């Protein structure tokens, strides 16, 4: 997704809030701060947070960094599954062990934050909620719908990882969540 195109089309700037779940190397953060958009960014992968996000953005007053995965519950004991045994491979790590491109034996400890409750405490209107969390997007969406006033979110952007997760329980939960969103009149825009 071309974040600059999205920000330009929506005419975002000072006073807007971008929640970035799965911040990766900070490309979205950089685009936002160039437009004076406030950002709250979550990233659970140690190398990405340590090597990119923290040194690049921790002193910027527009940016709040969370070294954690947004999820449905608070925990210090989750596993972030990796693509291979090399912990420096930063792409595609996931809380969802059924994702097909992961090495189930290779993981790192991961802190998770109940994103719905986090947003309640944040208590701000959200211009963009961007979710690219490698399979946990449906748990995240349900947490937001259960805990937060979803009418305070203007635009929902999600990268759906349905082609990489064949687990029947996950597929059923995805379908139930999509129906719930449809019933509420919430449109998910693709972040792919």
Q: For the chain (length 192 residues), average pLDDT per consecutive 10?
A: 97 98 98 99 96 98 99 97 70 90 91 99 99 97 99 98 93 97 98 94
Sequence spans of domains, the chain: 3-190
Please give the pLDDT value at position 141: 99
| Per-residue H/E/C for 54-97 | HHHHCCCCCEEEECCEEECCCEEEEEEEECCCCCCCCCCCECCC
Q: Which CATH architecture has domain 3-190?
A: 3-Layer(aba) Sandwich (3.40)
Beta strand segments in the chain, E:
17-21, 38-42, 63-66, 69-71, 75-82, 103-114, 126-131, 153-158, 188-190
Q: What is the CA radius of gyration of the chain?
A: 16
Please give the pLDDT value at position 87: 56
Please give the pLDDT value at position 101: 87
């Amino acid at each position: 997704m071309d974040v600059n195109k999205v920000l330009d089309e929506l005419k975002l700037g000072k006073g807007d809030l971008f929640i970035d779940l799965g911040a990766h190397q900070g490309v979205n953060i950089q685009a936002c701060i160039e437009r004076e958009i406030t950002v709250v960014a979550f990233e659970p992968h140690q190398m990405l947070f340590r090597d990119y996000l923290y040194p690049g953005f921790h002193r910027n007053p527009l940016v709040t960094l969370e070294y954690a995965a947004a999820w449905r519950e608070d925990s210090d004991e989750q596993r972030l599954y990796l693509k291979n045994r090399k912990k420096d491979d930063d792409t595609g790590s996931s809380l969802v062990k059924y994702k097909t491109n992961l090495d189930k034996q290779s993981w790192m400890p991961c802190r998770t934050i109940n994103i719905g409750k986090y947003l309640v405490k944040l208590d701000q209107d959200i211009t963009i909620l961007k979710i690219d969390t490698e399979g946990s997007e449906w748990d995240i969406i349900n947490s937001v719908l259960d805990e937060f006033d979803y009418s305070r979110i203007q635009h929902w952007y999600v990268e759906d990882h349905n082609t990489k997760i064949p687990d029947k329980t996950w597929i059923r939960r995805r379908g139930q969540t999509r129906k719930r969103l449809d019933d509420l009149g919430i449109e998910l825009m693709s972040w792919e």
